Amino acid sequence: MNEQAITRVRDVMKTDVDTVDGMDTVEAALQKMDHVETKTLIVDKRDENDAYGIVMFSDIARKVLAKDRPPARVNIYEVMTKPVISVEPDMDIRYCARLFDRLHLSRAPVISQGKVLGVVSFSDMVVKGIRKR
């Protein structure tokens, strides 16, 4: 029997995550980003009973840039997806990839006990997961 080690989401996720407030403008959110390589902004909860949101650069391109809307006049809540579909850090990346495929996702936040630990994408799973086998 060929037994492979399980690669978990926590092993391949990016831990550098930029968070924004839903009331921020797109312009302000982009200016205060800390991580140059990020393609995703996590929208903070307003309170403990709220849900996280997500904004991807593709959302900003489609809903702001392509529609010629001024980024200084568009709030994050207008372009975000909320509630966000998230994954657990202990999930096997094979199941995560199946979930992404079934739901047409390209990336998702990794959340455990109500806290965002990172973001995982198809590329993370392929580059860091498959290549290391």
pLDDT tens digits, 6-49: 999 999 999 999 999 999 999 999 998 887 778 899 999 999 99
Residue with tokens 């489609």: 62
Q: What is the pLDDT of residue 133?
A: 55
Q: Does 83 sit behind a cis peptide bond, omega within 30 degrees of 0 on the bond before it?
A: yes
Q: What is the pLDDT of residue 1?
A: 43
Closest residue by Cα to residue 123 from 99, 107, 102: 107
Domain boundaries 9-130, corresponding CATH code? 3.10.580.10
The C-alpha angle with vertex 131 and arms to 128 and 86, in degrees rounded to 5, equals 35
Q: What is the pLDDT of residue 104?
A: 96
CA–CA distance, 27 with 4 (Å, rounded to integer): 46
* pLDDT for 115 beyond 70: yes
Contact 4, 111 (CB under 8 A): no
Q: What is the pLDDT of residue 56?
A: 93
The pLDDT-based confidence of 132 (bands split at 50, 70, 90) is low
* pLDDT for 131 beyond 80: no
For residue 22, give the amino acid letter.
G
* pLDDT for 3 beyond 80: no
pLDDT tens for residues 84-114?
999 999 999 999 999 999 999 999 999 999 9
